[in-house]
Amino acid sequence: MSDHRSPDTGFRTSLLEENDGPAVNPTDNRTMGEIIAARFSRRGFLKGSLAVSAIAATVSPLALVAADDARAAEASAFTFDELEAGIDDKHHVAPGYDADVLLRWGDPLFADSPEFDPAKQSAEAQAKQFGYNNDYVGYIPIDGSAEHGLLVVNHEYTNPHLMFPGIVKIVDKDGKKAAEVAPLSKEQVDVEMAAHGGSIVEIRKDGGKWQVVRDGKLNRRITSNTEMQLAGPAAGHDRLKTNADPSGTKVIGTFNNCAGGVTPWGTYVMAEENIHGYFSGELPEGHKEAANYKRLGIPEGAYEWGAHYDRFNLAKEPNEANRFGWIVEVDVNDPASVPRKRTAMGRFKHEGAESIVAKDGRVVFYLGDDERFDYAYKFVTTGKFNANDLAANKDLLDDGTLHVAKFGEDGTVEWMPIVFGQGPLTAENGFASQADVLIETRRAADLLGATKMDRPEDIQPNGANGKVYVMLTNNSKRKAEQVDAANPRASNAFGHIIEISEDGGDFAAAKGKWEVLLKCGDPSVAEVGATFSTATTANGWFGMPDNCAVDSAGRLWVATDGQGPKATGRTDGLWAVDTEGAARATSKLFFRVPIGAEMCGPLFAPDDQTAFVAVQHPGDGGEDWEAFGRPSYYEDLSTRWPDFKPDMPVRPSVVAITKKGGGKIAV
C-alpha cells in the first residue's frame, strides 16, 4: 500500500485517492491498458457478442447463467459458507471459523518488555514491543513444525493521529469538520521510528490456539535505527556514501516495509516501499541526484524526521535517500546478525519479494513497484539453491539478474534483463556501472521500454500450477488514451489481476504468456466492466487487490486495500478466488476488517490449518463512514478495535484464523 498525508485532514491516510502515489514516470512507454485494449480488440469483442447472441436465440439467458452457476459451485476449490460483506467497527470471519487476535501494536515481545501504555509511550518501550501497522506476515517453522515457528511481520508506517493523544484539533473548514495535527515532538518522532521496521516473534500452537512465546530466544525487533549492511553491486559506491558513513556500506535502519517474503533457505526479506515520504529539505542547486530523486518522488516530507535528524534532510545528507528503496534480508536464527540490503535486486518502491526455486535450482523473486505507471520485475539468482546446506545460500541475493516486464498485445510477456552495457544501459545514457543501473532502476526500466502498470503490488508464484499472479491495485489517473492490453480500463478505480504462465513452466524463463484473470469491481454495474464469474455473489466481488497468498493446495487468496464506504460500500477483507476449471474467476468473501482498516498479509501455515492476516490502520478515515461522519483520531475513534476499552486506542494487529474443531481452511 501507499502512505500519504490527506490534504483535507492532515492525517496520513491510505484512502483510495491518496494512495496512488505521485505518478512520476515521465516516459511514453506503452501502458498495460493500451496493450490490453489492443489485444482484446473491438473486432474480437463483436465476435464474442455475436456468438452469445446466437446461443441466446435458442437457450434462455437465465438458463445459461444458472448453468454457469451450477458448474462453478460444483467445481470450486473452496468449501466454506460465505461471509456477508458490510461495514462496522469489528472484524468478521466466515461461519465455522474463529479469528483470534494474536499480536497487537505495543504487545511485549521480551521478558523485560514493559506493558503497553498508550499515554506514556517511549522509543525505548516501543523497541521492545510489537510495532505499528503490521503488513507482510511470514512463517518460518522451528524444527519443521507447522505448529511451532517464527512469525515475521513488517511494520510499514505510522498514523500519528491514531497513535498519540493530544495532537489533533478539530476545526470548522468550509462548513465541514476538519482536523489540524500539531507537529510531533522529537520524542514522538523517536516512537515512530521505533514502531517501523519488523518483528520476529516465536509462536506456538497450544490446544488449537496460537500463543506468543514472550521470552523466545529468537524474538527480535528491527527498527529505523537498526544497523544494516549494504551488500551487492552498489555497496561502497560513491552515491551511497554520507558524512556518517564514508564507506558507503553501513546504513542505519529500514522503513516503509510493506510486503516481503521468506526465502527457501529460511531468511526473512523486507521490502522498502514508499521511502519518499521520510525525506525533506532541498538538494544543493545542480546536484547530480536531482533527476534520480524526482523519478522516485523524493522529497515528499510527509514525516517530520528531517526536523530532528540530519540524515533525513537532503540539504545536509544528499546521498542518504539512495540508501533506501532496497530489499533487506534478515537471518532470523541469529538475533545479533546484521541485516543486509541486497542491492542486486534493484532500488524502487518495492512491494513484496515472493520467491520460488526454478527447474535448474536458481531462485526467482517476483517484485512489484507500487506506483501508478510503474513496473513489474523479477530477479533470478546466478547461484543455485542448496537444500542440503542452508548456510551455503547466505549470499545468493548478491549475484543475479534483475528483469523488468514488457507485456505484448499478442499475450506474451518478455522479461528484459537490466544489465549495464546491454541495450540503452550505457555511459551515453548516464550509467557508468551496474551500481548506477541499480541505484536508478526505474530510469533503466524506462529506457528498456517496460510496460507501465496500474500499481503492481504483490506478485505471487504458484508452484502447484506453474502460474504467477500479479495484483494491480488501481490507477484512477489512467486516461482513455493510455489503456493497453494488460491495463484495460481508463480511470481504473478497482484494479485487476494478471495471470502469467512462464515458458515451459520455468519460472526463470525469459518469456511467457499472460491473461487477465479478473477485472475487479462490482459486476452489477455495467460501466465498471468487472469479470467475476456469474457464480460470484453480491458478497463475493471485490476491488483494489493488494496482497495475496497461495496456500499449499495451490489456491489463490486475495487481500484488498482501498475499499470502504465511498469506494465500494464494504470494508477490505480476504477473498478466496478460484483460478481453475469451471469455477475460474469465482470469488468468495472469507474475512473482513473493521472500519478504516486495510487487509494485509495473508499467510497460511504449512499445514493450511491456520490463516494469519494483518489488520492495518483500523479506525482511519472516520469522516467517510456515514455512521460516524467525522474525522477519527486518538480521542474520538470510529472503532476501538481490537480491545474495545475506553483507555485503549485502535491497535493494528495480526489475527490467527482457524476452523472450529480443527482442520484445513476452506476444505
- CATH number, domain with residue 445: 2.120.10.30
Give me the domain span that covers residue 383: 76-273+325-659
Torsion region of 106: left, alpha or beta (phi above 0 gives left; psi -120 to 50 gives alpha): left
Residue 161 lies in a domain: yes
Q: What is the mean pLDDT of residues 457-475?
A: 96
**Does residue 309 belong to any structural domain of this protein?**
no
Write out pLDDT tens, residues 170-203.
998 888 888 899 999 999 999 999 999 999 999 9
Average of per-residue pLDDT across 305-313: 97
Would the CA dihedral through 508, 443, 234, 228 be positive or negative?
negative
Cell of 596: 478504516
What is the distance between the alpha carbons of residues 489 and 276, in angstroms, rounded to a whole number? 28
> For residue 164, what is its C-alpha cell?
498519540
Rounded CA separation 228/36 (Å): 42
Quote the percentage of the chain above a pLDDT of 90: 84
Residue 67: what pLDDT? Answer: 55
* Strands 227-231, 340-342: pairing kind: parallel
Which secondary structure element, helix H or strand E, spans residue 195, and what is its range?
helix 186-195
pLDDT at residue 342, as a whole number? 98
Strands 327-330 and 268-272: antiparallel
pLDDT band at 514 (very low <50, low <70, confident <90, very high): very high
The DSSP 8-state label assigned to residue 414 in this structure reads E
| CA 562 to mean position of chain CA atoms | 12
Give the pLDDT of residue 31: 79
| CB-based contact 321:209 (threshold 8 Å) | no
57 lies in some domain = no
Count up the domains in the chain and report the number. 1
Residue 320 forms part of a structural domain = no
pLDDT band at 35 (very low <50, low <70, confident <90, very high): confident
Alpha helices in 40-173 (DSSP H): 42-56, 61-75, 123-126, 160-163
pLDDT tens digits, one per residue of 558-599: 999 999 999 999 999 999 999 999 999 999 999 999 999 999
354 domain-assigned? yes
Indicate the average pLDDT of the chain: 92
What was the pLDDT predicted at 491?
A: 87
Asked, as a colleague might, if the bond just before 424 is cis with ω within 30 of 0, I would say no
Single-letter residue type at 281: G
In a domain, 403, yes or no: yes
Judge whether 644 lies within some domain: yes
Evaluate whether residue 526 is within a structural domain.
yes
